[in-house]
Structure 1
Amino acid sequence: MRSFLFAVSALAIVGLAFWAYRENYATQQSLRDVRALHEEIGAARTRLAVLNAEWAYLNRPDRLRDLVELNYDRLELLPLAPEAFGRVDQVAYPPKEIDFEAVTQAVEISSDGGTWP
């Protein structure tokens, strides 16, 4: 009986050692994946910073003003002025409630141009 317990204990230890070995390598792979993701995030942040800098450079007011002046004959763009903007109370908002009783005309919808049966 004692030898049976020793054999079962030895098998349990071997099994646990194998499990720990596999978990160790799985953990190391996960850590490598996390490092790679951090590097990708860093590279994406760097690209985003470059793109933001390029956007700011291209949208300088003096550059845009020069482009408008150069292309006025084709585009007929006008400089922005306060008079070009409206007020909020001038916006026509849709009615809050739709009167379904007022909708009286039916519309036929078909993909082949035919009519409904």
Structure 2
Amino acid sequence: MVRILNLLAVVALIGSAIYAYTIKYETIFHAERIVKLKHEIKAEQDQIGTLRAEWAHLTRPERIQALADKFLDLQPVALTQIVGADALPAKAPRVDSIGRKLEALGLTEPTNTPRDGEASAPTTPSIRTR
């Protein structure tokens, strides 16, 4: 009986050693992966910084002004181009096309509801039948 217990203790010891080593190597693997991901994140942040610097360089006002002068035939603003608000055309009145269609169908009359007290009156406008 003692030999069986000794054998079980040795097997348990070997099993726990294997389990400890697997945990150790998994931890090392995950630590290396974390370091690799941190390097990738740093590289992406550097690339974002580079792109932001390029964007700032491309959108400088003096560069855009030089390109506009070179490629666009722009004329300076003259004083005669500036007008007052009273010289602007008036806004056209808003047209309610759905409302006009409902009026044409005769659906603009108010409807009777049950609380009006007239039970014999129709509850909807009359519909023309052909």
Q: TM-score range by the shorter chain?
A: 0.5 to 0.7
Identify unmatched segments of 5+ residues in structure 2. Answer: 83-101, 103-130
Q: Deviations over 1:69-109 (max 9, x none)?
A: 11114xx6x99xxx9xxxxxxxxxxxxxxxxxx9xxxxxxx
Shift of 1:48: 0.8
Amino-acid identity (%): 31
TM-align CA RMSD: 2.3
Is 1:46 the counterpart of 2:71? The answer is no
Shift of 1:61: 0.5
Letter in 2 for 1:37: L
Shift of 1:37: 0.2
TM-score, length-normalised on structure 1?
0.60
TM-score, length-normalised on structure 2?
0.55
Runs of 4+ in 1 over 4 A off after TM superposition: none
Of structures 1 and 2, the one scoring higher in RCO (CA 8 A, sep 6+) is 2
Identify unmatched segments of 5+ residues in structure 1. Answer: 84-101, 103-117
Match of 2:29 in 1: 29
Shift of 1:2: 1.4
Residue 65 of structure 2 aligns to a residue whose secondary structure is helix
Match of 1:56 in 2: 56
Shift of 1:36: 0.2
Match of 2:5 in 1: 5
Rounded to whole Å, the distance in 1 between the matches of 2:27 and 2:51 is 36
Rounded to whole Å, the distance in 2 between the matches of 1:48 and 1:39 is 14
